Amino acid sequence: MRIAWLMPNLHITGGARAVVELSNRLIKRNHEIFILIPSGRYKLPINVSAQVIECGIKVRNPILAVLTGMLPMLNRVPKVDVIISCMPPYALMGRYISNLRLIPSINYLLNDDVHFFDDGSFIRSRLLLQIYRFLARWSVRGKVNFANSHWTAVQAVSEGGTRPTAIIQQGYNPKVFFPLKTSVEKDRRVTLITVGRKARWKGFSDLIKSLNLVDRIRYPFKLKVISQEITDCPAAKFPLSFHKPKSDDELADLYRSGQVYVHSSWFEGFGMPPLEAQACGLAVISTNCGGVREYLVDGDNALLVPPREPVTMARAVEKIINDRKLLIRLSIRGLETCINFNFENVTDHFEKALIDLHEKYNRCQTLKYL
């Protein structure tokens, strides 16, 4: 099967990394994959086996990149059997190509598309935000949606969207993300790991407020921040360091340098970092932010706290530092449960959903002309 992805970028984000992981595995199964993006939006430092097609002129502004890349992208989509789109402008473009070429188009929902920019971190103009929401609501009403979690599916349906045909969860690469330690270090000071992003809804500032409330004499810790965007944090009143991994191998090593992963997002379509951290043997504290509930269960393999509640997050951090048996139990249960989400299993489900859709579409087209 020949498949074309229409994407806003190939940056270091969970959605882009998931698309590449799925594509690489589909290519090994004799499918042919094309990934179309606006020019200059390719910054992903992992191996991409698919043919990447950059469209339009190279511009720095991401909104202009979308606008200037759309028409060239329409003209450069090769002959394929299925089109898969991520984000509303590309979902609408995929529907147009689908109607033009009589091929199926899938809108792969990776988050709450309609309210994705509501925090004002990226789109600050109220007019642009209203236009975006209109396009997003239109895009989720297409014929075929896939979603990366049940939470994402519910958000789409609540906005009048089509119920997703399949839930294609994200995952992790077990050849990269695996544990090396067999026991927790005896050092009293626990190393916390987090991924820091500038977007407000990622909750990095909330996490700093939380950790400022922790009594470091009774509950000693240090924080390692994995980030491509943030290089300092004057508001922090505790030891921390910033790290910019250049590959997934370096990212996995950073995970393995800690004992607890802390996730502070307001909402997530799926949330790959906590899952990858579990696969590396870390215990996880996370906000109860939607898509993480696909693999995190409070009190079983993680501690879940409400989003945007620094005091509650601080108490959870103190609890896990103070109770090493709890830390070890959550780590072991995380390793036991995350195995179901390795990318080979996800690709099996994804491939089957694509083949079923393609066959169903061809049958419908045949009946139409009988």
DSSP assignment string, 116-144: TTTTSSS---HHHHHHHHHHHHHHTTSS-
How remote is the C-alpha of 343 from its chain's centroid? 13
Q: What pTM does this model have?
A: 0.93
How remote is the C-alpha of 329 from its chain's centroid? 26
Question: Which of 288, 252, 259 has the alpha carbon at shortest distance from 271?
Answer: 288
* Series of mean pLDDT values for 10-residue runs along the chain (370 residues): 94 88 96 95 82 91 84 93 95 94 95 94 91 95 95 97 96 95 65 96 97 96 94 94 93 96 97 97 97 97 97 98 96 95 96 94 67
pLDDT at 139: 95
pLDDT at 7: 94
Torsion angles phi and psi, residue 87, rounded to 5: 85, 145
pLDDT at 370: 47
pLDDT at 44: 77
DSSP assignment string, 316-342: HHHHHHH-HHHHHHHHHHHHHHHGGGB
pLDDT at 186: 59
The answer to whether 39 touches 49, Cβ cutoff 8 Å, is no
pLDDT at 366: 65
| Cα three-residue angle 299-300-301, rounded to 5 degrees | 110
Three-class secondary structure of residue 242 per DSSP: strand
For residue 265, what are its two tokens? 């997002």
Task: Give dist(CA 97, CA 176) in Å, integer.
Answer: 37
pLDDT at 47: 82
Q: What structural domains and CATH numbers belong to the chain?
A: 2-171+343-368 (3.40.50.2000), 190-340 (3.40.50.2000)
